[in-house]
Amino acid sequence: MSQDDALKPYREKRQFCRTPEPRGGEPAPFGGEPLFVVQKHAARTLHYDFRLEVDGVLKSWAIPKGPSLNPAEKRLAVPTEDHPLEYARFEGVIPEGEYGAGTVMVWDIGTFRNLTEKKGRPVPLGEAVAHGHLKVWLEGKKLRGGFSLTRFKSGKDEAWLLVKNQDELADAHRDPVAEAPDSALTGRSLEEIEQQG
């Protein structure tokens, strides 16, 4: 699928004369490790949007409770439409009445490596997403280490689970959602972003 085709649902939901969100379509930066971002989104209900750079777009899941560092905590992750790469640094306010109205914060941002394997062979990430299972190593400011995303329900109510893998960065006693609530990009709180845009 071309990047423009992948972004069609994203663009159809938004009116770019009204929302400050990026339309997308700038050429992807050359080289470097792929990006991940977790955006805290105070929409009708507060949630965390987990996004991974895959084949020129940000594959996206909405996580109501946010990520956990405890491998025993499985977090529901509901897939949403692909977002443009430029969205990774979007922080601001989506106006009332527009799709996803509310404040968006870059809660965590960094790079990642794809660790997905099948029978000992690496699986490209696009394929892993299509097959419903992927494993990544995150290098963020708040989230580090291995995480797995696994689809457990297909169809109209498609649903996945995000789980911290058991490794040296797993920690059942730390909760980054509670301990580090502010922006990884600007240090601002949700209230400050709401006031400043």
Q: Which residue, 24 or 71, is less far from Mn ion as judged by CB?
A: 24
**Applying CB under 5 A, which residues contact Mn ion?**
41, 49
Q: Is 87 helix (H, G, I), strand (E, B) or coil?
A: helix
Q: Which residue, 107 or 135, is less far from Mn ion as judged by CB?
A: 107
Distance CA 137, CA 110 (A): 11
Q: Which residue, 13 or 144, is less far from Mn ion as judged by CB?
A: 13
In whole angstroms, the minimum distance from the beta carbon of 52 to Mn ion comes to 15
Q: Is 4 helix (H, G, I), strand (E, B) or coil?
A: helix
Distance CA 56, CA 37 (A): 14
In whole angstroms, the minimum distance from the beta carbon of 47 to Mn ion comes to 6
Q: Which residue, 99 or 137, is less far from Mn ion as judged by CB?
A: 99
- Neighbour count for residue 125 (Cβ, 10 Å): 21
- Neighbour count for residue 18 (Cβ, 10 Å): 12
Q: Is 121 helix (H, G, I), strand (E, B) or coil?
A: strand
In whole angstroms, the minimum distance from the beta carbon of 95 to Mn ion comes to 15
Region of residue 50 (phi > 0: left; psi between -120 and 50: alpha; otherwise: beta): beta
In whole angstroms, the minimum distance from the beta carbon of 39 to Mn ion comes to 7
Q: Which residue is nearest to Mn ion (CB)?
A: 41
Q: Which residue, 38 or 128, is less far from Mn ion as judged by CB?
A: 38
In whole angstroms, the minimum distance from the beta carbon of 102 to Mn ion comes to 8
